[in-house]
Structure 1
Amino acid sequence: MSGRKDRARAEARAPRTNAPPRAPEPTGMAAPLNPRRIGAYIALAVLGALVAVAGALVQAAWFPGGLLLALAGAAGVFYAGRVLTRTQLGAFVPAAGWLIAVVVVLNGRPEGDFFFGGGDEIALALFVLGGMVVAVICATFAGGSISANDQERSGR
């Protein structure tokens, strides 16, 4: 009785031999535009910019802890973009929004007003360079992703 069940399971998993071959779906730059993914990238860029402004305020207020908190928030947004979109671009888009917002915030007004507090150039440099390093780490992190087509390891 169990031999029949095992054979039925094996036949259910076996590929059809009489099926016509299908062309693989295009990926990367060859893939068609997806409006949902474009909307997600725009939302991630805006979220990255908001995290940059919040991080600029926090790191200037409480130097050692605020800097770590600002970088942790940036890392969370960058990694979340990577995981949600399953692409490296998902981490780079919020990082680009973050960097643009930081550059805009760094530019003072003609009157001499400056967004960052204090004059602590070391904390400011650590914030900018640390955010860029975190973005690269999150974008290149391989993290055990599972293929959408196969739930098992691809080497089997």
Structure 2
Amino acid sequence: MSSRGARIAAYAGLAVLGGAVALAGALVQAGWFPLGLLLALAGAVGLFLGGARLTRTKIGAAAPAGGWMLVVVLLTTTRPEGDFLFGTGAGAYVFLFGGMFAAVMCATVVPSGHVLQPDAKRL
């Protein structure tokens, strides 16, 4: 597989992982309210930052954030039966806006691809 193909596959895998983290976070944040919310946001931050560090690009953070956002938006819509997964409590809003804030922050703090080498001339 070419380098470009591997990178595209990595982005697609990160997007799928972002969706899985969103689904798990949506269930955990409401189930164990104060600590579950922190756990859900920590999982999202870990994935976004890990994707950025793995690929050393902003897309590495944006791909899982896009998958996360897609699943969260799909989970917030009501069904024809009137059921929905997110309530109207403060925890759900903190999860939604906290995840969006984490995605933006992790995309802006992308580590550079350059490794600093010590200067051999300075001894």
Does TM, normalized by the shorter one, top 0.5? Answer: yes
Residue correspondences, number: 119
TM-score by length of 2: 0.88
Q: Distance in 1 between matches of 2:85 and 2:98?
A: 19
Alignment-derived partner of residue 45 in structure 1: 15
- Between the two structures, name the one with larger relative contact order (CA 8 Å, sep ≥ 6): 2
Alignment-derived partner of residue 89 in structure 2: 121
- Which residues in structure 2 correspond to 1:93-112 (within 5 Å)? 93-112=63-82
Alignment RMSD: 2.2
TM-score by length of 1: 0.70
Q: Distance in 1 between matches of 2:25 and 2:110?
A: 26
Q: CA deviation at 1:67?
A: 0.5
Q: Residue type matched to 2:39 in 1? A: L
* % identical equivalent positions: 53
Greater Rg by CA = 1
**Paired residues of 2:53 and 2:110 also in contact (CA < 8 A):** no
Q: CA deviation at 1:153?
A: 6.5
**Paired residues of 2:52 and 2:110 also in contact (CA < 8 A):** no
**C-alpha distance 153-121 of structure 1, shift in aligned 2 (>3 A):** farther
The structure in which a higher percent of residues are helix is 2
Alignment-derived partner of residue 92 in structure 1: 62
Which ranges of structure 1 fall in alignment gaps of 5 or more residues? Answer: 1-32
Segments of 4+ in structure 1 off by > 4 A? Answer: none
